[in-house]
Structure 1
Amino acid sequence: ELMPREEGERVFAPVVDVYETDQELVVKAELPGVKKENVEVTIRDNALHIRGEKKEEKEEKTETYHRVERVYGKFERVIPLPTDVKVEAAKAEFKDGVLEIRIPKAESSKEKKIEIS
């Protein structure tokens, strides 16, 4: 699910929520400090792929850092889709550092009540 670059290296890994409604599957990923143009979303092999890069802020100042906890670099999350979806109808929105992807469920994955005669 996470694609680490090298053993022991800290990797930026967006945290995600995945939930479904009667009509759609929704994935929300937190991407603080990532620009929309540095994110790519694809669906293939019944999985959602979110990849991109969190670029380090380049400053020309001569600060002396005492602590560095923020992580930068390329990332990829692969989220298996728990149900069949209509890939061609997927939509994504990026707002306030949160990527929200909405994918309508395929007809076959919607629940249908069957009347007993």
Structure 2
Amino acid sequence: MNLPIRHRPGSLLEHGLRWPEPVAAEFEELFDRMSRFLQSASLTSPLTEPVAWAPPADLHETDEAYLVECELPGIRREGVDVTVGEHEVSISGELKECGREGVPRHRGRPTGKFEYRALLPVDVKSEDVTASLTDGVLTVTIPKAQPAKPRHIRIQD
């Protein structure tokens, strides 16, 4: 059984849906709760393969760029893969489980493969993307491609 990866590209209002804000917020909460339920059900079922988990992340937009801040505590930069396409950013990797003695009584931190994806509404300069990992927070800066500015064209004789 395949379960969806939790995608958090932004709120429902940011996608252009014209619902009143309280209704959109209720749907947002419902989607989050269903995602957590499906994720917890899949991680405990012995019949399914472990699914990728989505690390907590924020996506901010400025006039010049998109900024993704993704929480990845305990992960080395060599274990993270950042891919940026025309309209998408993807952050993936794997957090290996630490070998500990004894029987685990409670698990609150996810392990295994992770993936975060977000759709970007405008073209970006993928060759100018930068990423840094500081204090367990991965910051990816994705510059926007500059749209063509209107200019006056002189008609030749």
Q: TM-score, normalised by structure 2?
A: 0.60
Instruction: Indicate conservation of the 8 Å contact 2:86/2:123, yes or no.
Output: no
Q: 1:2 aligns with which of 5, 13, 20?
A: 5
User: C-alpha separation between the residues in 1 aligned to 2:74 and 2:82?
Assistant: 17
Bigger CA radius of gyration: 2
Distance 1:17 1:69 in 2: 21
* Equivalent residue in structure 2 for 1:49, among 72, 90, 93: 90
Secondary structure at the aligned position of 2:43 is classed as coil
1:83 has 2:86 as partner: no
Number of the residue aligned with 2:64: 23
Shift of 1:45: 4.8
Give the secondary structure class of the aligned counterpart of 2:42. coil
SS of equivalent to 1:8: helix
- SS of the residue corresponding to residue 57 of structure 1 reads coil
Instruction: Give the whole-Å Cα distance in 1 for the aligned partners of 2:121 and 2:136.
Output: 25
- Root-mean-square deviation over aligned CA pairs: 2.8
- C-alpha spacing 1:105/1:29, structure 2 compared with 1 (3 Å): same
- 1:57-72 mapped onto 2 (5 Å cutoff): 57-59=98-100, 61=101, 63-72=102-111
Shift of 1:13: 1.7
Counterpart in the other structure of 1:37: 78
The residue type paired with residue 17 of structure 1 is: D
Cα separation, 2, equivalents of 1:104 and 1:65: 44
Looking at secondary structure, tell me which structure has more strand per residue. Answer: 1
3-state SS of paired residue (1:9): helix
Unaligned runs of 5+ in 2: 7-37, 45-51, 150-157
Q: Which has the higher helix share?
A: 2
Answer whether contact 2:57 2:70 (CA < 8 A) is retained. yes
Q: Which portions of structure 1, spanning 4 or more consecutive aligned residues, are displaced by more than 3 angstroms?
A: none
Match of 1:107 in 2: 146
Aligned length: 110
